[in-house]
Homo-oligomer: A and B are copies of this chain.
Amino acid sequence: MLGVSVRAGILVTGTELLTGSVSDRNGPWLSERLGEIGVEVAAILLVGDRPSDLEAALGFMRDEGFDVVVTSGGLGPTADDMTAEVVGNFAGRPLALDEEMEQKIHNILKEFAKRLRFDPEALRDANRKQAMIPEGATAIDPAGTAPGLVVPAGEQVIVVLPGPPGELQAMWPLAIETPAARGVLDRAEPLETSSMRLFGLPESEIAQSLREIEQDADLSGLEITTCLRGGELVVDVRSRAGSEDALEALWAGLRERHDRFLYSEAGEMIDEVIAGLLDGRTIAVAESCTGGLLAKRLTDRAGASEYFSGGVVAYSNEAKTALLGVPEELIAEHGAVSPEVAEAMADGALERFGADVACSVTGVAGPDGGTEDKPVGYVCFCVKLAGGEKLARDPALPGNRADVRERSTMVALHLIRYLLQGREPPR
């Protein structure tokens, strides 16, 4: 951990976040923004809408000595939206009506009420509450109907933002430009971020490498995070000015040890890497068990139409024959999940789409359909160039249906990369 001068806590309120039915998007978004300006996020705390929950949470963040607390939620017009009042009390700043803000909210609601055919007066009453501002706090103009607040609270500054992600994101830049927020945030030293992505390497190996590299080089100026997702290992590094040598030593050490697994040093995702490697060529896919996921991943990127010709999701045997020209006899002889059928599917995709590169996936995603020879998780891949060069694999992948589909997609993407790079995958 770096010698960070400004620490923050994020406090997200909303009972719906505690039932598991909704995932919090504001915590991660705020973390990223705070990190970019050099503020270390030390905790993200999700609590319900009750004032007592909120008070306890604010108390925790004061006890921890956080310089900045950012709250989201509880600024709406209803009686259980209590954040402004609780934060005001916590900071020893009673609420008072801000008449200018009241007029602003009135004007916003007038339009809103007209569109939805509500009684504008009733709405205004319900929303006058939203113009109540703690004494000495700075109000932030609403992106929706709720104003935000920047509230000095002893040593801390508390930034109060509404819960809807669109509103919170629109108001954040205004909030951090207020003098009260600047007073704390200007003490933070922005960090450089960089990352490296590897595929197929266990996390324990990276941990071992980091220990080894640390014996030869002082990495204390770096904050290193490793994280594993779907077989991809991402090494994220934040560094302060003056740590360039440490950063170079880290990357050189990882490159030296794990070159075979390394596929991106600039943080690009695998679909971006493939887009670059295709370099004007086109690609098509033929999928069975991944059911469209591979095509989806290749078209997530804006501009995918420049190189993605298309794909066939050939779920039934008939579809494999009709749409990809896989001979019925081949399926009868080897089974739909076989290296032979995988190659025929890739051939079919090359030919039908007139593509330069094709990738096929056929496997047993489960939960049913597994046999002793071909258990759930057995998946056959074939990547082929129009010129005939190919790369085929048929691993047994672990996990449930969703895992097998996700992992198969990742394996397929990386096999495409290996073939385009002219490299042999490890193992």
Interface residues of A (CB under 8 A from B): 1, 15-25, 27-33, 35, 40-48, 50, 53, 56-57, 60, 63-64, 76-79, 116, 118, 123, 126, 164, 166, 202-205, 207-208, 211, 223, 225-229, 234, 236, 238, 282, 284-285, 287, 290-296, 298-300, 302-305, 308-316, 318-319, 322-323, 352-354, 366-369, 399, 401-403
Contacts and interface: CB of A to CB of B under 8 A. Distances in A.
Contacts of A323: 310, 312, 323, 352-353
Contacts of A304: 291, 315
B16 A44 contact: no
A316 B310 contact: yes
B315 A313 contact: no
Nearest to A12: B44
Name the residue in A41, A166, A229, A295 with the highest tally of chain B Cβ atoms < 10 Å from its Cβ: A295
A296 B296 contact: yes
B18 A44 contact: yes
A399 B31 CA distance: 23
Contacts of A33: 20
A238 B318 CA distance: 46
Given A78-B204, A310-B312, A310-B316, 19 more contacts: A19-B35, A20-B35, A21-B225, A23-B28, A43-B45, A43-B53, A44-B45, A60-B60, A76-B204, A116-B202, A164-B228, A295-B313, A305-B369, A309-B316, A310-B314, A310-B315, A313-B313, A316-B353, A322-B352
What are the 5 tightest A-B residue pairs by CB atom distance, in nearest-first order?
A291-B299, A292-B295, A20-B32, A292-B292, A20-B31
A236 B299 contact: no
